[in-house]
Amino acid sequence: MRFAILTVALVLSSPLGVAHADRLGDLSRRLSRTKSDKARVAAAVSLGRLEDKRALKPLVTALRDKNNMVRAVAASALGTLGDSRGLPALRRATLDKDVTVRKRATQAIGAIRKDGERAGPNGKSRYNLKSRKIREAHYRVDARESPRMSPRKPDLYVTVRTAADQSRGRASKAERKKRGDLMRNLLVSELRKAKRLTTSAFIAEDLELPFFAIDISITRLKRVVRGPWVELECELRIAISNESGKMISFLTSGAKVQVPKRSFRKQYEPNMRKEALKNAVTSVHTDLVRYLLKTSGV
């Protein structure tokens, strides 16, 4: 009799499980393939309400949707889902260009942490950073992390969100992008040398570090002649945003490279631009690190 009752129970419950799985699959496909923004928003909302861990992947993918409302709803749904595996994607979403997405992602991170999903046994961090071997391995998780970085725990997480050449001139789009990429690489390289900062999202997530986002732009990059000198002038502007996405400050810096006019040749100019840009980034980096540490109060 017990066997018969158990069999009936399984038979009765099976269609519900299949229906749930079918609905999850249908919503996931709708979220990734439907062209209608409203339909994708509705799919994200419904996936969050299912509270099924299998909804994690489609919701994380939706954080890169072209529509800002879809991204915002997906972030909220991940908060409802409460799966700590979504934290890295949510942290990236806190740097989204849309303020609503940034806000929802921040709220979702708070909700997941509040639920204690990130904690391991006894409420401790998942990673034993007191172990030197493990700690150093984690500091090298980003292969580009500077080997000169101190083995002590960092105080801040800093990420360079955008880097653009906004200077006046007739430079092509491709050339401006190349300059922006160079500037970004230069700044990231400098930041990785700072002992109290990290550019690794993995480390920041593990230690729950406060973080800042940086947008850097070239405002002037021009060749001028002054007396016996040909100068290449470079001016930069850095916009600093906090964890909530709010712009909190601007920093400016400049540098110039000089060559005697009598020995100047046109072919020197590209290298002069690079040198001026490098000097400007190095100059603003010092002020940037000092400002970030002072602002965060660490």
Q: How do beta strands 229-241 and 211-226 pair?
A: antiparallel
- Pick the more confident residue, 238 or 150: 238
Residue 250 confidence (pLDDT): 92
Same domain, 138 and 107: no
Same domain, 63 and 165: no
| 123, part of any domain | no
For the chain, list the strands marked E by DSSP.
156-165, 197-198, 211-226, 229-241, 247-260
- Pick the more confident residue, 122 or 71: 71
Q: How many domains does the chain have?
A: 2
Task: State mean pLDDT over 166-193.
Answer: 91
Same domain, 72 and 218: no
Is the predicted pLDDT of residue 27 greater than 80, yes or no? Answer: yes
Residue 1 confidence (pLDDT): 37
pLDDT tier at 59 (50, 70, 90 boundaries)? Answer: very high
Q: Helices then strands (H, E): number in the chain?
A: 10, 5
Residue 115 confidence (pLDDT): 66
- Pick the more confident residue, 93 or 200: 93
Residue 49 belongs to domain spanning? 2-118
Task: State mean pLDDT over 63-73.
Answer: 92
Give how far Cα 291 sits from Cα of 79, 103, 157, 252, Å. Answer: 32, 24, 14, 12
Residue 116 confidence (pLDDT): 56
| 278, part of any domain | yes
Same domain, 100 and 151: no
- For the stretch 104-139, what's the b/e string if a residue is b when 16 or more beta carbons lie within 10 angstroms of its beta carbon? bbbbbbebbeeeeebeeeeeeeebebeeeeebeebb
Is the predicted pLDDT of residue 97 greater than 70, yes or no? Answer: yes
Mean pLDDT of the chain: 79
pLDDT tier at 230 (50, 70, 90 boundaries)? Answer: very high
Q: How do beta strands 211-226 and 156-165 pair?
A: parallel
Same domain, 157 and 33: no
Residue 21 confidence (pLDDT): 62
